[in-house]
Amino acid sequence: MAEQKEKLLQLCKFKEYEVFNVYEDAGISAKDMEHRPSFQEMLADMKKGKINYIVAYKLDRITRSVRDLEELISQLEMYNCYLICDKDDVNTSTANGRFFVRMLTVLSQLELEIVSERTKFGLNGAIKSGHLPGIVPLGYKKDSNKKTIIDETTKDIVIRIFNMYLEGKSYQQISNTLNDENVLYPKHWRDTTIMKIIDNKVYMGDYEKGKSNNKDTTVFMNVVEPIISRAMWEEAQHQKEKNQRSYARDRVYIFFQKLKCPKCNRIMKCKGSGGTKKKYMYYNCEHCKIYYREDKIEGCLQRFILELVEYDMSVKKYFLPILADKKEIKTEKLEQEIDTLQKQKERIKKAYLSGIVEMEDFSEDYKIIEEKINILETKKCEMLNINHLSFTPQQLMADRDIEREKLIRTNQLNNILKQEWNKKSKEGKQEFISKFIESMTLLKNKKRRILY
């Protein structure tokens, strides 16, 4: 840049031009004139009659746009100013010079468009081979070849977010839970962060190009290893029609979006009433003038709900092991990641001991690496435990039945199930119902008691 400036000053001296000012837009592309402050300042000085010649090193330093060039030449003619480009031997003071300028700019723009097309083609090829541009989404990382691969330390967080969303939790509820548990601390979770995760096609293996710029999007399918199944992602999109942000409500409804009107089959709306002492939750169909009180519904469905609670407890205690995939799981991948993180930790430690960095400069990174190693070690242990499970389905079912009969004989079963249900918060009850019940319809008898 300094060399070009010196050559132009020498040219002005040779032609006996008086230099009024030097206009520089360092680091700004010449693809347009609008976003170049110094260029706009030069045009303003030209319109004020302060300059008669614009001297540039090359034409493509002025503009690469044919449209902008036409506008510039018109303004030059209007204000009796001329353009001289030393390297391209351009002079707009003659008709031939102006024609030559236009031809050079056409070729310059053609070259720019060809380069742009090649860049796009190269980017598309990179995406198809798993080299995704931009910030790596949660659950993924870059390998040594800059390819996007699954990050085993954060993958389960993504899976958990999708599971919570499919259980009926809103974006805000999910972000509150993650913040309360200090997941990936000091990261602060927001509802918009959860929304972007649920919307991101990358988690089923696809990459959506152009979405962030509100342009026509292009979807590249199966470019990275998926974290969740395609069916799960599609189900999450369908769930958007059911879910509502819970912070928009001042009450939590246990049977939210689950109760259908027995006459018209519409989803019944949730309403609340009562003063500060006693508040009632209602579900009503405005079309058919039918309503139910939430506490009455809960009482009516108590036996059914307790059966679900017992089922849930049995699954967690007895059947999860047998439902787990008992195939031989290889832990080499996890071991490699642990080894890589251990090496990073050692490098940081050596840098500190050598006096290259201060304690406060690396303590946070060191802590994060240790947390990732702990996560991977835990996953490795879980995988090894699954590989060495020794049980039979018959043993599990026998153990369950023996314990259940024992509780029935001592009249404890019903009390335990009630305690398990009652200790849940309103949010917990809502999540439980959403997990097990797709929809339900209730009827009232002549005494206006709820039947189901």
Number of domains the chain is built from: 3
Lowest mean pLDDT among 61-65, 121-125, 300-304: 121-125
pLDDT for 245 beyond 50: no
**90 and 150 assigned to the same domain:** no
> For residues 105 and 338, which has the higher predicted lDDT (pLDDT)?
338
Residue 20: inside a domain: yes
For residue 338, what pLDDT band results from cuts at 50, 70 and 90?
confident
pLDDT for 214 beyond 60: no
**428 and 315 assigned to the same domain:** yes
Q: Buried b vs exposed e over 387-408: b needs ≥16 C-beta within 10 Å?
A: eeeeeeeeebeeeeeeeeeebe
**Helix, strand or coil, per DSSP, at residue 90:** strand
CB 102 within 8 A of CB 96: no
In sign, the C-alpha dihedral spanning 44, 45, 47, 53 is negative
**434 and 311 assigned to the same domain:** yes
Residue 201, pLDDT score: 92
* Among 377, 390, 307, 309, CA closest to 341: 377
**145 and 89 assigned to the same domain:** no
Mean pLDDT (the chain, rounded): 79
**14 and 70 assigned to the same domain:** yes
Which domain-ending residue is among 69, 98, 126? 126
**Helix, strand or coil, per DSSP, at residue 396:** helix
The pLDDT tens digits for 171-203 are: 888 999 999 999 987 888 998 999 999 999 999
Structure tokens at 437: 């019940």
Residue 412: inside a domain: yes
pLDDT for 62 beyond 70: yes
> For residues 142 and 351, which has the higher predicted lDDT (pLDDT)?
142
**307 and 405 assigned to the same domain:** yes
Which residues are CB-neighbours of 191 under 8 A, at least 6 positions away?
A: 170, 171, 172, 174, 175, 245, 247
pLDDT for 249 beyond 80: no
Q: Cα-Cα-Cα-Cα dihedral of 428, 434, 440, 445, to 10°?
A: 0
Residue 292: inside a domain: no
**116 and 228 assigned to the same domain:** no
* Among 122, 410, 444, 421, CA closest to 283: 444
Mean pLDDT of 86-103: 75
Residue 284: inside a domain: no
**DSSP for 161-229?**
HHHHHHTT--HHHHHHHHHHTTTTTT----HHHHHHHHH-GGGGT-EEESTTTTS--EEE-S-S--SS-
Q: Which domain holds residue 7?
A: 2-126
Residue 360: inside a domain: no
pLDDT for 96 beyond 90: no
Domain harbouring 217, CATH code: 3.90.1750.20
Residue 247, pLDDT score: 41
**21 and 88 assigned to the same domain:** yes
Q: Cα-Cα-Cα-Cα dihedral of 45, 49, 52, 55, to 10°?
A: 0
- For tokens 């469905």, what's the residue? 301
109 to 25, 75, 179, 212, 249: CA distances (angstroms): 20, 21, 51, 27, 56
Residue 116, pLDDT score: 63
Residue 223: inside a domain: yes
Lowest mean pLDDT among 215-219, 284-288, 337-341: 215-219
Question: Residue 125 — φ and ψ, nearest 5°?
Answer: -65, -40
Residue 437, pLDDT score: 86
CB 21 within 8 A of CB 45: yes
CB 203 within 8 A of CB 226: yes
Question: What residues pair up with 149 in beta bridges, in sequence order?
Answer: 141
Residue 340, pLDDT score: 85
Which domain-ending residue is among 206, 229, 246? 246
pLDDT for 106 beyond 80: no
Q: Buried b vs exposed e over 205-239: b needs ≥16 C-beta within 10 Å?
A: bbbebeeeeeeeeeebeebbebbbeeebbeebeeb
**159 and 218 assigned to the same domain:** yes
Residue 276: inside a domain: no
The pLDDT tens digits for 30-52 are: 666 777 888 889 999 999 999 99
Residue 278, pLDDT score: 59
pLDDT for 350 beyond 70: yes
Backbone torsion region of residue 131, taken as left when φ is above 0, otherwise alpha when ψ lies between -120 and 50, otherwise beta: beta
**68 and 178 assigned to the same domain:** no
Residue 209: inside a domain: yes
**89 and 154 assigned to the same domain:** no
Which domain-ending residue is among 228, 246, 264? 246
**179 and 82 assigned to the same domain:** no
CB 176 within 8 A of CB 193: no
C-alpha to C-alpha distance for 145 and 186, rounded to whole angstroms: 29
Domain harbouring 15, CATH code: 3.40.50.1390
